[in-house]
A and B are shown apart, each in its own frame.
Chain A
Amino acid sequence: MIKLLHRIFPHPHLTILLTLVWMLLANSPSLNSLVFGLLLGIIIPFITQPYWPDRPKLRNWPMVVEYMLVVLWDIVMANITVARIILFKRDADRRPAFVSVPLELRTPEAITVLAGTITMTPGTVSCDLSAQGHNLLVHCLDAPNPEEVRDEIKRRYERRLKEIFE
């Protein structure tokens, strides 16, 4: 029975998420859009199942909320920092640098979220993974001290993602 349910709902979270996204797209909370959203939420995970065989487990929901708040706060603060660099710092004083961040995360989903977070927080862009996925290459707009950037990423984001995914 449970196996059958697993076959029909390979990603239960994705089903809920897709339904929610459809409801938001329709922009009016009606039974009509709920039913259609649920339909999409069941069909899409079922069809795409072969391309996403693993089921990532989120272990720590309060940490998910904390992570989102930390990232939002960092985006606002980093925006101001970067705006100051662009407007007031002479180009010659800027120290752009590649930084290599050794990863402790092993789940592909967790690494994806980390790379996306690094790109979305202004001032850093994640550029590449090492051949076996053990290191992340990050480009910094202005990093007089690359070790500091690396430690900050590990402390603020990777530690929390480790608690969420692993």
Chain B
Amino acid sequence: MEFLFQLLIAFFLIVSGIFGFVGSFGMIKLKDPMSRLHAPTKATTLGVGGVLLASIAHSVLIEGKLSLHELLITLFLFLTAPITALFIAKWHIHRHEKPSDLPDAGEDELWATHAVEQVEDVPDHSAN
């Protein structure tokens, strides 16, 4: 029985290793900055999730006590990762995209990043 448990834990670890690797590999392979942004958001989902599942399984099945610490890590990651991604994306739009490069913002005409630039008269850095 113990062997089966170890097999399960090893499976979770391998899955997380594979996805962590693919995420890092994506950072090298993908060429444009916006696509690179996809790699870190992926490593935090299945990559970290696998390690956490393995950790829960280890403490429940082998040590025989319930540990739910790991759920908190998932919660904090899900709260913080989108914010980092949004910061980087906004920086990219601010510096490298003109309003005409982006899809139509509908009735509001401008995306928030560009609208702020217009209001506060931020100098245009996209030329250099």
Contacts and interface: CB of A to CB of B under 8 A. Distances in A.
B110 interface: yes
Interface in A3-49: 21, 24-25, 27
- Range of interface residues on A (Cβ < 8 Å): 35 or more
B105 A123 contact: no
Nearest to B111: A128
Interface residues of B, number: 48
Interface string B78-115: 11011001100110110000000011111111111101
Interface stretch (A52-60, A76-84, A152-160): A76-84
B69 A25 contact: yes
Contacts, number: 134
Given A86-B25, A86-B26, A99 B41 contact: no
Contact of A91 (B31, B108, B110): B31
B103 A125 contact: no
Interface stretch (B3-11, B32-40, B120-128): B32-40
17 contacts: A27-B67, A27-B69, A82-B26, A91-B30, A100-B103, A119-B86, A122-B41, A123-B38, A125-B85, A128-B113, A130-B112, A131-B108, A131-B110, A134-B108, A137-B103, A139-B34, A139-B37
Interface of A: 21, 24-25, 27, 75-76, 79, 82-83, 86-87, 91, 94, 96, 98-100, 102, 115-116, 119-123, 125-135, 137, 139, 141, 146
